[in-house]
Structure 1
Amino acid sequence: MTSLFSSFDPTSSIMNLSLNWLSTFLGLLVIPMPFWLMQSRISYMYNMIMNKLHTEFKNFLGPMNHQGSTLLFISLFSMILFNNFMGLFPYIFTSSSHLVFTLTLALPMWMSFMLYGWINNTKHMLAHLVPEGVPAMLMPIMVCIEMVSNLIRPMTLSVRLAANMMVGHLVLSMIGNAGSSLEIIGLIMLLSAQMLLVIMESAVAIIQSYVFALLVAIYSSESK
């Protein structure tokens, strides 16, 4: 590595075609075929989690949600979760740590929700710009603040996911680079710390995928 951040560079290619981004779809290849054909404990647990997410997203969307709209957010959660976990394996490119990946997910969804809300529910969208109980003197300021906070939503969504995934990988890389200069006792302590960090990163991978999908569902509910 030429620098600490070079592990995030998509450098491997064939005929100038980057192969690192293929890791985005690598999760589908890892899942064995019997997972979809035969019931097992893993598939039962996965279905139980998906049903729980379906119920939660349905509550956030409210009674005005379209039938089957929760499948969009469940699929988004599953896609980000697979990419976050695939990035924890050695020598696998972490696509969810790049703004190219996260902004590609956040920007089209936010834009589609905004267009749908402003075209079909203009009064409802205007009402969101002024919170209840705000004095008349502060209404112009609150409108500007709400507009800015609404416009930066896709950036905050994408930066939150990319930054959380990148920071954990950087800490693992920094600690791993110090292993070659340690004695046996220090190396054991280093491996123990690495294992704890990997467990923490696994929790971060689940939490960040859930937060991303949940915030997108909330933004969708506000446009209805």
Structure 2
Amino acid sequence: MMTTYYDMQEKVCVVTGAARGLGRTISETLAKAGARRIYACDINMAPADSWIGDYPNITAITLDVCNSAALATLRQRIQDEHGHVDVLVNNAGITRDALLGKMTEEQWDQVLTVNLKGVFLTTQSLLPLLKEKGKSSIVSISSVVGTDGNIGQSNYAASKGGIIAMTKGWAKELVHGGLQVRANCIAPGFINTEMTQAVPEAVLQKMAARIPLGALGEPQDIADGVLFLASERARYITGQVLKIDGGLVL
């Protein structure tokens, strides 16, 4: 079990994009830290069948973050079962890369809908539960592409930059009337996930060579950042972007 330095006991958490990759590791990390309940949500939860049974405090939820009716159903279920949410991790996201001159309107719309609108709709839907106890934490997964751009990712950069802008607005908006709903972002760099594992080894070596610390990050590096921002150890941190990139963007 994880150290109790980050004690998540009695915390009710929601993680989107949770079936695999970063979302899986984030969900597992919160579970190991003692969270009372993690609602692990994904549009396709099948990849979680191999691991989710190891954690009795994780509940699998099939969820489209762009579907307002589905989000309302999730909100009502959590309301009935726990009455509040302590931690929301907005992790669901997709890529549809193409150079500017070749990017289709469909590719633009798909990425902005899932990556930006999905974060907005999920947070808006769960906001009453995040406000219920007067203190909670929203952690949204952005990207260094959202802060510094990247070739062939106009849509992804816009969506991840939009998450940062929304987060900064929420940090100012959600502290009125005694509320302490903290909102922060994590901006990962090159992380060793299923997506990068499909990249040719020569390309991976070139990617690693650009990183001052000399290697790709691991999903646990991001999950540990989420755990910190979700916990009371970060009680005086809001509206910030935590880059976890090995020094890629300085």
TM over 0.5: no
Higher relative contact order (CA 8 A, sep 6+): 1
Per the normalisation by structure 1, the TM-score is 0.32
Per the normalisation by structure 2, the TM-score is 0.29
